[in-house]
Amino acid sequence: MAGVKVAGFLDDDPSAALGLLPFRLPHPFPVPPHLGGLGDLRPIEAHEWIIALGDLARRRAMLGALAGGGYLADRLGGEHPTCVIHPAATVSPSSQIGLGAFVAPEAVVHARARVEAHAIINTGSIVEHDCVVGENSHVAPGAVLGGAVTVGTDVLVGLGSRVLPGVKIGNGAVVGAGAVVIRDVAEGARVAGVPARAIRGGRAG
């Protein structure tokens, strides 16, 4: 997939790789070797790597561990993150995709958009022209960012949501599934609904 050969994976559960899950679905890909637990980062020293966790808090914690171990430097060869762009994604040549970012199948990243390090542009989502998606943020499947939207760091833009052009979403905010965001969202806020409004407690997306 995406022209990347998987050398192995780190997980505290050695059976976590595709094909070793309990239901053992058949698939055409060989199972990559288990290289160790999440607490031992030494196996990545010879490889480029990417964080394959969907939970933003866990991803941020892992980024902290990687930074502490000196693995976030942009080096040639191993010991630094790579970006993965699925061949079924559409990415403008004038866009920028940061190290550690993942662009999923059928996602679209338009002209002059910038996807920063370790962000996820998930299946079928659209990042329109001149958008910025901050570090470690997740644009969930089917979400659409209109032109010149700015998404801060550690933001979740929920399933099927819509963000109107020019809107700014602050660091750590959560946009609920199916929301339509028509105005700026404050840092750490949780919004949901049509049009999106701030909510208290619970999960927005």
The length of the chain is 205
198 phi and psi angles, rounded to 5 deg: -65, 140
Q: How far apart are CA 182 and CA 13, in angstroms?
A: 42
Does the annotation mark 129 as catalytic? yes
Active-site residue identified among 80, 86, 118, 129: 129
Q: How far apart are CA 13 and CA 67, in angstroms?
A: 23
% helix / strand / coil in the chain, to the nearest 5?
10, 25, 65
Burial environment of residue 49 by CB neighbours within 10 A (0 to 12, 13 to 18, 19 or more): buried
For residues 151 and 157, is the Cβ–Cβ distance under 8 A?
A: yes
Q: Which residues are catalytic?
A: 129
